[in-house]
Homo-oligomer: A and B are copies of this chain.
Amino acid sequence: MSFVRNQWYVAAYGTEVGRELFSRTVCGESILFWRTEAGEITAMADRCVHRRFPLSEKPSNLVGDTVVCGYHGFTYGADGGCVAVPGQTRIPRTARLATFPVRERDSFVWVWIGDKERADESLIPRAPWLDSPDHTTVWGMEPLKARFMLLVDNLLDLSHETYLHGGYIGTPEVAHTPITTEVDDETGVVYVSRHMDDAECPSFYAKSTGIEGRIVRWQDIEYFPPCLYLLHSRVAPVGVYPKDDGTDTDAFHVEVVYAITPETENTTHDFWAVARDFALDDQGVSDFLHDNNRTVVLQDVVALDKLEQVIATEPDGYQELSINIDTGGLAARRILKRMAEEGAPREQVAR
C-alpha cells in the first residue's frame, strides 16, 4: 500500500521534542522537530537545501531560534527560511525548507502529511485521558519492522490476546467471545466491541486493580483511521455493571491508546499509552502497567516483524483467509483504501 496522505499523524510525544534537534520519519518524510525559545514546536524537512545534509545530525545545532547545518553552515529560521549561507551575503530566494503543519494535543505531537491548505486542526482525533488530571498514564514507543497495516490488523482483532499474550492480558474468553463491529461510513470510524460477563482476570488487571476472582471485562474499540486507536477497557467484579444513571464508580477503567504511524512502506512507529482512573498516585501500579504493557507490545513487535518477513518471500497474489473476528480489520482496510485514494496527490509524487 502507499501512504494515506492528507492526514494527521502522531510523530512524537511532546516530551520528546525540546531544545535538541530531533528527527523522525513519517510516511517517508524525514522531519526535523525542535522548539523555539518560546516553546513553540516546529516541523520542517530534515535535509539542508544545499547538499542534503540531515539537519538533525551533529554537528548541526540550534542557535537561538535558528538551525545551523553541520556541513557548510546554511542557517534556517523557525519558518524554514534560510537566513545565512557561507561565503556570501546574498541568500538565494529558493533557499527554504519545506515545513509541516504541527499541533500538540493530548501529549502527542501531530503532524500533517499532505497539502498544507487542507490541514484542518479540527480533524485531529482526541485522546484526552493522556494529559487529564483524573488519569495516570504510562507510555512508550516501539519501532516496528513491519508495515502499518499489520499493526492495524493486530489491534482490531484482539482475539490474539488469548494466544500471543497468554499469561499477560490474554485469557480463553477473549478469543471465544464473539464481537460486534460497526462502521461509521461518514466519519470513517470503526467500532469493535467484545463484552465478557464472566471472564478470568488476567494478571495485567488482577495485579493493578486488586480484584480477586472472575470479572466483567468489556473491550470497546474506536479506531480513527489512519492513526489513532482507542481501547476503552472496563473491568469489574462479576455482576458489577454501570448504574442506571450512567455512573460506574465500582469499575476500573483503562484507556489504552495507540498511535499507528507509518515510518516507511515497511516500518512503523508503534506509540502506546495506558491511562487509568484508579490508583492514580501508586508508582508501583504505574511501573507494573508500564512494564507489562511494554512486554505485550514487544510480543506484537516480534510477531509482526516476522509477518513482514513472511510477506517479503511470498508469491504475488497470496490470499489470506478471513473469518468473523476479522470484520473490524477488513472494514479498516476498506476505509484506508478509500482514504488513500482521496488523499493521493493529483499528480502522483514519484517516490
B160-A72 in contact (CB<8A): yes
- In angstroms, Cα B53 to Cα A320, docked, is 11
B324-A52 in contact (CB<8A): no
* Most B Cβ at <10 Å: residue of A73, A86, A88: A86
What are 30 A-B pairs with beta-carbon distances under 8 A? A30-B310, A30-B313, A47-B310, A47-B314, A49-B320, A50-B323, A51-B320, A52-B310, A52-B311, A53-B307, A53-B310, A54-B310, A57-B303, A69-B163, A71-B160, A71-B163, A72-B157, A72-B175, A73-B159, A73-B163, A86-B159, A86-B162, A86-B176, A86-B325, A87-B175, A87-B179, A88-B323, A88-B324, A92-B321, A94-B321
- Chain A contact residues: over half helix, strand or loop, or mixed? loop
B321-A95 in contact (CB<8A): yes
> Is residue A340 within 8 Å, beta carbon to beta carbon, of the partner chain?
no
**Complex contacts, A71 vs chain B, CB 8 Å:** 160, 163-164, 303
Copies of this chain, count: 3
Interface residues of A (CB under 8 A from B): 28, 30, 47, 49-54, 57, 59, 68-73, 85-88, 92, 94-95, 153, 157, 159-160, 162-164, 166, 175-179, 264, 303, 306-307, 310-311, 313-318, 320-325, 349-351
A325-B72 in contact (CB<8A): yes
